[in-house]
Amino acid sequence: QDEEKPFAAGRKKPQTVSSFRKVLPQLLAVTTKNTLATNFGLSIAFPTMVIPAVADPTSEIKLTKEQLSWLGSLFFIVIPFGCLLSGPCIHRFGRRTMMLVMCLPFSAGWAMFSYAYNPGLLFSAVFVHGLVNGLLEAPILTYVAEVCEPKWRGMFASFTALASVVGVFLQFFMGNYLDWRRSAMINICFPIISFIALCFIPESPHWLVGRGRIDEAERALRWLRGWVSVESIKPELDALVTSIGKSKEAEGSPFSWTPYLNSTFIRPFGLVVASFLIGHFTGMSSLQTYAVGIFHELKSPVSPYSLTAAEGFIQLAGALVCISILPFIGRRILAISTTFGTGVCLAALAIVGSGWPAVILLLISVFLINSCSKVFPWVLIGEVFPPGVRAVASGLASCFGYSLGFLVNKTYFLSVDLLTLHGVLGLYAAISLAGSLFYFLVLPETEGRSLEEVQAHFRGELNLGRGCKSKKFGHWNVSYVAEVPA
């Protein structure tokens, strides 16, 4: 009866909508944002098509072995600089605005690739794509967590990596039938599609509340919760406004050094960087970038280009499996089992040598890597950082991740010269097995947990580590607080 009193006084009852109607706008918003992640996948896979083409003696662009290593790794050294700028930019301009603006240079970068007839223009195109993808890192990662309800957050966050893998698969597929210039020309269309789609989704309500634009935040929440009435989202909006007020008192500006010296930043940051290290040093980037050459070295019975296209499909299958089983088995079991399995397969590959057994083991390793290591760091970034520094911390963590990717790709040829390909694969196996032990000892189980509970774990107030089971929580995502304006 107490709950009915406000309605008797003239307030309308909250609008009742179906579960499908509630989840549909969240899915639309995330899918639209993920078109940019698909563009990222196209970018990261493109050098795999270009490197063997320009390494051919008949190529009109002549590159040395050293230049080829830079072509395969330049993207990873440029993107961290964009990541560092990404957090402050979305804090000032918003998530959706940044995504919209970056679509234009994205298309320009593909046009540069298409007309690159000398090394300078080719490297310039890689530089543009690296910078643009870096600037997109924070808005892509934070937007999904800010617009989704907790029960959908983990699955929808995984969609980001899936969309990236779709881009990789599309690029490998095109590379099997088209030369890299024609592929680049087709790729110009993808950022244009993203720009058009982004015009139809709302800005993050968390960022809008943080900027004091309450009316716009109300409209955004009504759209995201199923095009509902004001009464249906009023409790969530009020709780969000209150949470942001408390965050302002507790943490102040995200550009102050103080929040970054606390264990609530240091511990999750270390976990995210470690997950990137485990992924990159077990072949997450190098097995993709140098796939054509690796299959050739393994004496593949079929065309290396065909197997590279098959690898793209297997990456997609691995990401789909991750999304499908993650809500049911949780982060810990998935990370420990797939990382251990990757280590076993890579160790066997280092021993087997060549031929079909080696090819099959390599493809199984790629599947397992994409079932966890390629997805996992990005899921963690969206949920482990304190609300007051989340945007900046996301960009900083991504910066470290891509720097590790650069290090692995740039030193790949040197590593193979020193250790041989099978020696490098053996090293990846050892790191993967050590990584599974690290996850067993350190990784918290965040599946089904509210973001406030995740923060409580890193504050030492709650144990989500070993022996902790996943838990399903309520409907509001108010614990995901936007950073407060300085």
The string of pLDDT tens digits covering residues 168-210 is: 889 989 988 899 999 999 999 999 999 999 999 999 998 899 8
Q: pTM (2 decimals)?
A: 0.74
Q: Where are the domains of the chain?
A: 18-201, 260-464
Topology of 260-464 in CATH?
Answer: Growth Hormone; Chain: A; (1.20.1250)
The confidence score (pLDDT) of residue 7 equals 46
Same fold for the pair 18-201 and 260-464 = yes
pLDDT at 39 over 80: yes
SS3 per residue for the chain? CHHHHHHHCCCCCCCCCCHHHHHHHHHHHHHHHHHHHHHHHHHHHHHHHHHHHHHCCCCCCCCCHHHHHHHHHHHHHHHHHHHHHHHHHHHHHCHHHHHHHHHHHHHHHHHHHHCCCCHHHHHHHHHHHHHHHHHHHHHHHHHHHHHCCHHHHHHHHHHHHHHHHHHHHHHHHHHCCCCHHHHHHHHCHHHHHHHHHHCCCCCCHHHHHHCCCHHHHHHHHHHHCCCCCHHHHHHHHHHHHHHHHHHHHHHCCCCCCHHHHCHHHHHHHHHHHHHHHHHHCCCCCHHHHCHHHHHHHCCCCCCHHHHHHHHHHHHHHHHHHHHHHHHHHHHHHHHHHHHHHHHHHHHHHHHHCCCHHHHHHHHHHHHHHHHCCCCHHHHHHHHHCCHHHHHHHHHHHHHHHHHHHHHHHHCHHHHHHHHHHHHHHHHHHHHHHHHHHHHHHHCCCCCCCCHHHHHHHHCCCCCCCCCCCCCCCCCCCCCCCCCCCC
Domain 18-201 has CATH 1.20.1250.20: yes
Share of the chain above pLDDT 70, in %: 90
The string of pLDDT tens digits covering residues 132-166 is: 999 998 898 889 888 988 778 777 877 888 899 89
The string of pLDDT tens digits covering residues 243-260 is: 766 555 444 455 567 777
